[in-house]
Structure 1
Amino acid sequence: MSAEAGGTSPRVPLDRADVRVRHEAGLAGSLRGFVARVRAGDLGALPVVVGLVLISAVFQSLNPVFLSSNNLVNLLFDSATTGIIALGIVLVLMVGEIDLSVGSVSGFASALVGVLWVNQGWPAAAAILVALAAGGACGAVYALLFNRLGMPSFVSTLAGLLSVLGLQLFLLGATGSINLPYESALVDFGQTLVMPHALAYALALLAGAGLALSGQREALRRREAGLSAAPLAGIFLRAGLLAAVLVLVVWYLNLDRGVPWMFALFVALVMAVDYALRRTRWGRAMAAVGGNREAARRAGIDVRRITASAFVLCSTFAALGGVLSAARLASASQQAGTGDVNLNAIAAAVIGGTSLFGGRGSAYAALLGILVIQAIASGLTLLDLSSALRYMITGGVLAVAVIVDSLARRSRVSHGRA
């Protein structure tokens, strides 16, 4: 017996019960919905993906070596160190704050590893753990100054930049540099170790399968709650495209050395942080605090604890980035963490799509943003252009990213999506 004959009507999803609102359905409807979201200012990763494609096309046309597998492998090695620091910046920006000391913290961590491991004879693992703990302690101090004394994060972390840099110079002493053992596992990890080719292919396929499984579970939960869900055909299409792209990338990298383990670690951290931000109560609280601190407090969120966790994680990631940078260079020096490390880490987070206004961001912003930054640096190096030009171009890209973020925020407000 049909629904009409029985006097009942087909069940309408709760979020589509209002007939005054146009609701899209099917694959074509999903595409139209995506276009509508972009027009409303919900850009997601679209600007940075388009920018990365344009940057790659320009540099490839100027120097055919740019997209060679060898250059891309080196690019991934170099991206991991600053990318991990940028991942911490994403977290602190999510709560509407900033950390200007990440470069100094990374340099201090590298110096601490060099002193404890090489000069004092500690096991490398113990030296690394102490360096990470020292980085977390820096973040805890910033959180204390912010939560208890009301010191703006801009001021406290600027003071931390100078203080921690002084500690770094003190540790390294008159020599100013400590060489790490070239035959050590840490240096090999930072310079040469790559994933077995078969494992890289397996993980690429697993990423596509994971996306399909996650989307299917999300659709099932929404249907059980009486809400509309994405069509399974669209879910499996996106998963298949992701797997195909990743397999193609892995194949191309394997023409040279392969996928660096250090970059794999960076991607694993990005995935873990992304899961925490999207699927846990802590992640939802991070977005709520960044969106409206007072509203989050009235909703029962421990704003101080959430803010403290962001500062501590940011400094810990900065310390880890410093340790990996020392492994990459096989040394800890007074120049570590200085120069453009702060600029690149903050720029990567913002260029990748994390909002400077707080409350909006993604762990993948660090991944996409650092690829843009490193692509610019690699392309200009191949063209044998000066560092001055690299600073100007990176600054221009950062300015464009902030303008896009500001305009998108205005558009979301006008469309009721903010």
Structure 2
Amino acid sequence: MRDMPDETRADPAAATAKARQRHAGRAVTRAVAGWIAVRRRRLRAGELGSLPVTLVLAAVWIIFQCINSTFLSPRNLSNLSVDIVGTGLIAVGIVFVLLLGELDLSVGSISGLAAAVFAVLNVNNGVPEWLALIAAVLTGTAAGTVQGYSVARTRVPAFVVTLAGLLTWNGLMLAILGTSGTVNLDENGLIAHLTSYYFTNAAVAYAVAALATALVFLASYLDRRRRRAVGMPHRPLHTIGVRTGVVAVIAFASAYLLNQFQGLPLALLIFLTVVAGLDIMLRRTPYGRQVYALGSSIEAARRASLSVTGVQTAVLAVSGTLAATGGLFLASRITSVSQNSGSGVLLLNAIAAAVIGGTSLFGGRGTTWSAVLGILVIQSIASGMALTDTPTAVQLVITGGVLFAAVVIDSLSRHTQQAHGRA
């Protein structure tokens, strides 16, 4: 007892608290060091993950913020969070198709067709909005299912079948719209509110951030427990804690920024909910594992008695459904549907978003969150160009350059993984 510091003898509780703090600090240090070691090992093996697109997104934000100080303002970030939703949903559907090593060229036409179906049913024929909405989404599902079944049964590459679909669905959209060519939507209707409604109560955004953080921790913890029960490698608890902390910082910072303008946009909430739900479906269900299996080797999947026809049909159906949903959000943003709906650079932006976000063109690698990161990059470039009055031509050149870099990185990453026996 003589060797103990005076403050320790005087207050054992304080000494215990300091010891706990030191232990917690060491745990965090070990977690960070372990994460860095894992990332280094994966980078050497060619598993880049979301690192390249994250660096590109950070560079884009820093550059445009230096050029125009309003780029990272709450108003612009709030508008950006709504602008990404329509094309982002279409890009998520593209991710499903790319996981099979295929390409869907019809998503732009399907999005325009679904918007036209809704507009004609609701505005021209007085069908209730909710019923017209369901009919529009099911139109996309049906179109995707037809294309998926055709690909699976004929074994014709998906890009050929969907190229024919691009022309077919676009022609059908023009026929549905008729001679008027443009239908204006009700600015006070359900569809218009998809992109114009905000949760102005600040508590809503913070509650969503807290819920998202809790769900991330719960999912990671349950995954750890399941892996540990069967003797598989699993993340230590302190690593899960650090990952959850990072998510919490991002979520609550986003909630704070959004609350500085008009609050949490309904469109963003729907978008992130869909992305998270589909991510769980891909990574946690037998269907999702079959999608990855087909993307890795369709012949091996056939020999393993997987339902190749069913999976391919379902993937194109998902793509068509998300294309239709994205088309409705795009129509909501401008409250009208015209003969130009679903055309222009929409298809290219959707494909570029999926690829830039990290989804491999060779199949078998990618997540739904890839589309979120990719569309953030593309829309951030568009937003920055608009603020700086830069010509659209320059925007297309820059986006094309980013896409080319993403494809090169994907190819080099695949070669590195093959060299390490991981592909």
**What SS does structure 1 have at the residue aligned with 2:239?**
helix
Query: Which residue of structure 2 lines up, in the alignment, with residue 134 of structure 1?
Result: 139
Query: Which residue of structure 2 lines up, in the alignment, with residue 173 of structure 1?
Result: 178
1:79 to 59, 80, 84: 84
Task: Give the drift of 1:329.
Answer: 0.8
Does the aligned pair in 2 maintain the 1:289–1:359 contact within 8 Å? yes
2:225 to 220, 227, 246: 220
Task: Give the drift of 1:178.
Answer: 0.5
Matches for 1:141-156 after TM superposition, within 5 Å: 141-156=146-161
**Alpha-carbon distance in 2 for matches of 1:174, 1:305:** 39
1:233 to 238, 249, 253: 238
Task: Give the drift of 1:316.
Answer: 0.8
Query: Which residue of structure 1 lines up, in the alignment, with residue 353 of structure 2?
Result: 348
Q: How many residues were matched structurally? A: 394
Could you give the per-residue CA deviations for residues 39-93 of structure 1, whole angstroms, max 9, x where no partner exists? Answer: 2111111111111000000111111111111011111111000000001000011
**Alpha-carbon distance in 1 for matches of 2:194, 2:159:** 34
RMSD: 1.3
2:276 to 254, 271, 274: 271
Does the aligned pair in 2 maintain the 1:27–1:231 contact within 8 Å? no
Could you give the per-residue CA deviations for residues 295-319 of structure 1, whole angstroms, max 9, x where no partner exists? Answer: 0111121111001100001011000
Does the aligned pair in 2 maintain the 1:83–1:366 contact within 8 Å? yes
Query: Which residue of structure 2 lines up, in the alignment, with residue 299 of structure 1?
Result: 304
**Alpha-carbon distance in 2 for matches of 1:226, 1:186:** 49
The amino acid that maps onto 1:326 is A
Does the aligned pair in 2 maintain the 1:290–1:358 contact within 8 Å? yes
Task: Give the drift of 1:190.
Answer: 1.8
Does the aligned pair in 1 maintain the 2:111–2:326 contact within 8 Å? yes
**Alpha-carbon distance in 2 for matches of 1:58, 1:345:** 24
**Alpha-carbon distance in 1 for matches of 2:398, 2:135:** 37
**What SS does structure 2 have at the residue aligned with 1:332?**
strand
Query: Which residue of structure 2 lines up, in the alignment, with residue 260 of structure 1?
Result: 265
Residue 64 in 1 paired to residue 107 in 2? no
**Alpha-carbon distance in 2 for matches of 1:26, 1:122:** 57
Query: Which residue of structure 1 lines up, in the alignment, with residue 7 of structure 2?
Result: none
Relative to structure 1, is the Cα distance of residues 333 and 237 closer, same or farther in structure 2, using a 3 angstrom cutoff? same
Tell me which moved more, 379-388 or 182-191: 182-191
Among the aligned pairs, what percent are the same residue?
Answer: 45
**Alpha-carbon distance in 1 for matches of 2:337, 2:78:** 23
Query: Which residue of structure 2 lines up, in the alignment, with residue 315 of structure 1?
Result: 320
Does the aligned pair in 2 maintain the 1:195–1:261 contact within 8 Å? no
Q: Scaled by the length of structure 1, what TM-score is found?
A: 0.92
Could you give the per-residue CA deviations for residues 99-157 of structure 1, whole angstroms, max 9, x where no partner exists? Answer: 10111110111111110000000001111111111111111221222122222211111
Task: Give the drift of 1:249.
Answer: 1.4
**Alpha-carbon distance in 2 for matches of 1:126, 1:283:** 30
Query: Which residue of structure 2 lines up, in the alignment, with residue 43 of structure 1?
Result: 48
Tell me which moved more, 204-213 or 274-283: 204-213
Matches for 1:184-203 after TM superposition, within 5 Å: 184-194=189-199, 196-203=201-208
The amino acid that maps onto 2:370 is A
Query: Which residue of structure 2 lines up, in the alignment, with residue 12 of structure 1?
Result: none
Q: Give the number of the structure whose residues are more often helix, by fraction.
A: 2
Relative to structure 1, is the Cα distance of residues 359 and 254 closer, same or farther in structure 2, using a 3 angstrom cutoff? same
Tell me which moved more, 215-224 or 154-163: 215-224
**What SS does structure 1 have at the residue aligned with 2:83?**
helix
Query: Which residue of structure 1 lines up, in the alignment, with residue 422 of structure 2?
Result: 417
**Alpha-carbon distance in 1 for matches of 2:31, 2:266:** 40
Does the aligned pair in 1 maintain the 2:199–2:205 contact within 8 Å? no
**What SS does structure 1 have at the residue aligned with 2:198?**
coil
**Alpha-carbon distance in 2 for matches of 1:385, 1:27:** 41
Query: Which residue of structure 2 lines up, in the alignment, with residue 183 of structure 1?
Result: 188
Query: Which residue of structure 2 lines up, in the alignment, with residue 32 of structure 1?
Result: 37
Task: Give the drift of 1:222.
Answer: 2.3
Q: Give unmatched runs, 5+ long, in structure 2.
A: 1-29
Query: Which residue of structure 2 lines up, in the alignment, with residue 384 of structure 1?
Result: 389
**Alpha-carbon distance in 2 for matches of 1:111, 1:396:** 33
Task: Give the drift of 1:195.
Answer: 5.9
**Alpha-carbon distance in 2 for matches of 1:34, 1:168:** 48
